[in-house]
Amino acid sequence: MMNANLEAKETNMLAPEEITAKDVTKTYLRWHFANEIPHSFERYLAPSLLYAMMPILRKLYKDEDQLRAAYKRQLLFFNTQLSWGGGVITGLMSSMEQERAKEVVNGEEVTMTDDLMYNTKAGLMGALAGIGDSIDSGTVQYIFIAIAVPWAQMGNPIGALFPFIAFALYQALLGVFFARSAFKTGKNATGVMHSAGIQTVIEMLSILGMFMMGILAGNYVKVSSSLEFEISGRPFIMQEMLDKIMPGMLPLAVVLGVYFFYIKKGLKVTRALVGLTLILIVLAGIGIL
Going 63 to 66 to 70 to 76, the CA torsion angle's sign is: positive
Does the pLDDT value for residue 139 go beyond 70?
Answer: yes
* CA pair distance 289, 277, nearest whole angstrom: 12
CA angle 131, 159, 222 (to 5 degrees): 80
Helix H or strand E encompassing 230 = strand 228-231
Does the pLDDT value for residue 32 go beyond 80?
Answer: yes
Residue ranges of the alpha helices (H) in the chain? 2-14, 21-34, 46-60, 64-73, 84-105, 114-132, 141-153, 158-185, 189-193, 196-220, 238-245, 249-265, 269-285
pLDDT of res. 213? 63
Q: What is the mean pLDDT of the chain?
A: 80
pLDDT of res. 30? 94
C-alpha distance from residue 4 to each of 12, 106, 108 (Å): 12, 14, 18
* CA pair distance 136, 42, nearest whole angstrom: 27
- Exposed, middle or buried, 8 (CB in 10 Å: 0-12/13-18/19+)? exposed
pLDDT band at 58 (very low <50, low <70, confident <90, very high): very high
Share of the chain above pLDDT 70, in %: 82
Range of lowest pLDDT (27-36, 92-101, 200-209, 219-228): 200-209
Of these ranges, 156-160, 227-231, 242-246, the one predicted with the greatest mean pLDDT is 156-160
Query: pTM for this structure?
Result: 0.64
Residue ranges of the alpha helices (H) in 84-157? 84-105, 114-132, 141-153
* CA pair distance 288, 226, nearest whole angstrom: 6
Amino acid residing at 265: K
Q: What is the mean pLDDT of residues 35-62?
A: 88
Does the pLDDT value for residue 189 go beyond 70?
Answer: no
Does the pLDDT value for residue 190 go beyond 50?
Answer: no
Does the pLDDT value for residue 79 go beyond 90?
Answer: no
Does the pLDDT value for residue 120 go beyond 50?
Answer: yes
pLDDT of res. 133? 81
Q: What is the mean pLDDT of residues 57-69?
A: 91
How crowded is residue 78: how many other Cβ atoms within 10 Å of its Cβ? 22
Four-point Cα dihedral 167, 172, 175, 181, nearest 10: -120
More reliable by pLDDT, 45 or 214: 45
DSSP, res 77: -
Range of lowest pLDDT (24-38, 95-109, 203-217): 203-217
Does the pLDDT value for residue 238 go beyond 50?
Answer: yes
Q: What is the mean pLDDT of residues 69-86?
A: 89
Q: What is the mean pLDDT of residues 40-62?
A: 90
* CA pair distance 70, 50, nearest whole angstrom: 9
